[in-house]
Amino acid sequence: MKTLLNKKSFNIFLIALAGALWGCIGLFTTPLKENRIDSISIIAVRSTLTAIMLGLLLLFYNKRLFKIKLRDLWRFAGMGIVSFAFFNICYLKSMELNNSLGTACILMYTAPIFIMLLSAILFKEKITPTKIICLILAVVGCTLISGGGSVTPLGFIFGIGSGLGYGLYSIFSVYALRKYSFWTATFYAFCFSALALIPFCNWKNVIIAVSTDINTAPLFLGLAIVITVLPYIIYTCGLKKVPASEASVIACVEPIVAALVGLIFYDQTMGILGITGMLLILTAVVILSYKM
């Protein structure tokens, strides 16, 4: 396993797998929203359950992974609050103010742009012609898959904020992984995320839903395990060998999977533009995978 983790090709696969798992989020959030649980509450419960599960995992796996230095808390706070919590709040506000999921998705996928620029400034990663081409392919592909919609000035600001927050996870993860295991980094990231979101959660509605619908608890557990614990651990692990600027492009397989989920499970349609968008994203991923 250690040999595989040291191979860039395997880490690229991990990042793509994380993006694919994130793309399945609708399978869990859609029925939860139909049960009148608001989005902020879903995110808060998701973060809380993730932190608890990771804590139990570390408790039995290796207690030494809990050990951190107080001066490094900013690394995890950045991952959990500045990135995950901030990104989700901005994304939800963008959908609300623009009244369009497609527009919110397009603005969120400005993330690779922020990551490429910040990685060049902070980590001295080179902005090569290949990276720029792949970035353009990915952003255009996401745009075609997501579709378009109206944009309000405030909605645009929140949308760009969601892209920045989404991208900052990779940036703060790089700092965290310089000193700590990806297990440690992911656990403390979601501890901070939970602390930031718990005050905004409508716990009364959550408790009522769990107690009256036998499907609610399994959906929350699935959201925490399949959509959060697994993808965030393997994505953070993948960042050990893949530059953040490249990882952000590879993770753009997420809208492809999300579109397929909608097509297969919710009878959503996909036109020629959506198919073209998928091919553009896959082309970008393949180029980044084989250029080394």
152 or 289, greater pLDDT: 152
In this predicted structure, what is the pLDDT of residue 108? 81
Mean pLDDT over each residue of the chain, to the nearest integer: 87
What does the alpha-carbon distance between residue 38 and residue 202 come to, in Å, rounded to a whole number?
8
* pLDDT confidence tier of residue 30, bands split at 50, 70 and 90: confident
- Tell me the pLDDT band of 196, cut-offs 50, 70 and 90: very high
Nearest C-alpha neighbor of 79 from the set 235, 249, 241: 235
What average pLDDT does the segment 22-50 reach? 90
Residue 100 is predicted with a pLDDT of 63
Residue range 41-50: average pLDDT? Answer: 94
Say if residue 199's pLDDT is above 90: yes
Q: Is the pLDDT of residue 188 over 80?
A: yes
> CA-to-CA distance for 188 and 37, rounded, in angstroms?
26
Where on the phi/psi map is residue 37: left (φ > 0), alpha (ψ -120 to 50), or beta? beta
Span 3-16, average pLDDT: 78
Report the pLDDT value the prediction gives residue 150, as an integer from 0 to 100. Answer: 64
Q: What is the pLDDT of residue 1?
A: 53
What is the rounded average pLDDT of the residues 264-276?
79
Count Cβ atoms below 10 Å from residue 93 Cβ, excluding itself.
Answer: 18
pLDDT at 51: 96
> Per-residue pLDDT tens for 202-249?
999 999 999 999 999 999 999 999 999 999 999 998 988 888 888 888
Radius of gyration of the chain from its Cα atoms, rounded to whole angstroms: 18
Q: Is 1 exposed, middle or buried (0-12, 13-18, 19+ CB in 10 A)?
A: exposed
pLDDT of residue 151: 74
120 has a pLDDT exceeding 60 = yes
The answer for residues whose C-beta is within 8 angstroms of residue 218's C-beta and 6 or more apart is none
Question: In this structure, how many other beta carbons lie within 10 angstroms of the beta carbon of residue 201?
Answer: 20
Given a contact cutoff of 8 angstroms between Cβ atoms, the answer to whether 47 and 193 are in contact is yes
Across the range 99-120, mean pLDDT stands at 80
Question: Residue 5: is its pLDDT beyond 60?
Answer: no
Instruction: State both tokens at 27.
Output: 């399978």
* Angle (CA) 81 84 88, round 5°: 115
Q: What is the 3-state secondary structure (H, E, C) of the chain?
A: CHHHHCCHHHHHHHHHHHHHHHCCCHHHHHHHHHCCCCHHHHHHHHHHHHHHHHHHHHHHHCHHHHCCCHHHHHHHHHHHHHHHHHHHHHHHHHHHHHCCHHHHHHHHCCHHHHHHHHHHHHCCCCCCHHHHHHHHHHHHHHHHHHCCCCCCHHHHHHHHHHHHHHHHHHHHHHHHHCCCCHHHHHHHHHHHHHHHHHHHCCHHHHHHHHHHCCCHHHHHHHHHHHHHHHHHHHHHHHCCCCCHHHHHHHCCHHHHHHHHHHHHHCCCCCCHHHHHHHHHHHHHHHHHHHCC
pLDDT given at position 277? 83
> How confident is the model over 125-171, as pLDDT tens digits?
888 888 899 889 888 888 787 765 667 888 888 988 988 998 899 89
Q: How far is CA 258 from CA 120, 145, 156, 251, in A?
A: 30, 9, 22, 12
Which whole number is the average pLDDT over 259-287? 81
Q: What does the pLDDT average to over 284-289?
A: 81
